[in-house]
Structure 1
Amino acid sequence: MQELLHSLLVGFSLLLIAEGVLPFVRPNLWRELMARAIANSDKSLRMLGAVSMFLGLTLLLLARS
């Protein structure tokens, strides 16, 4: 159980690092991308979320094998 929590903490930490790179390096581009995301429909955002989750799951399964 402790190993699982450690892995989740590492994964979450990497996610936060990846999410923070663009706003740190190019804040104006990040603002523009967020404005575009807000303008998208719920269906488009859900599709983007589904694709992202699928790719993440696929990468996780490849890394675990």
Structure 2
Amino acid sequence: MWDTFLMAIALMLVLEGVFPFTSPNAWRDTFRKLIELEDGQIRFIGLTSMVVGLIVLYLVN
């Protein structure tokens, strides 16, 4: 169980590191735009991300 969890965390870190590694300027510009969003918009993005992740997990299993 813990092995799978740690592998998932490691894979998440690798995937999140690809964009800032390949194009740091675009990554920086993206975060500047994210700062301007309202709290509700950020929460919606987070909720959508969680739902998509749950759907993918459901389909894989």
Q: Please classify the TM superposition score into its range, dividing by the shorter chain length.
A: over 0.9
Aligned residue-pair number = 61
Q: In structure 2, give the amino acid aligned to 1:11.
A: A
After TM superposition, the structure 1 = structure 2 runs for residues 1-65 of structure 1, keeping only pairs within 5 Å, are: 4-64=1-61
What is the CA deviation profile of residues 11-64 of structure 1, one whole-angstrom value per residue up to 9, with x for unaligned ones?
101100110000000000000001111110000000000000000000011111
Unaligned runs of at least 5 residues, structure 1: none
Q: In structure 2, give the amino acid aligned to 1:35.
A: R
Under a length normalisation based on structure 2, what TM-score does the superposition of the two structures give? 0.97
Cα distance in 2 for partners of 1:50, 1:59 equals: 14
Cα distance in 2 for partners of 1:29, 1:42 equals: 22
What's the C-alpha RMSD, in Å, of the aligned pairs? 0.5
Cα distance in 2 for partners of 1:60, 1:11 equals: 11
Unaligned runs of at least 5 residues, structure 2: none
Under a length normalisation based on structure 1, what TM-score does the superposition of the two structures give? 0.91
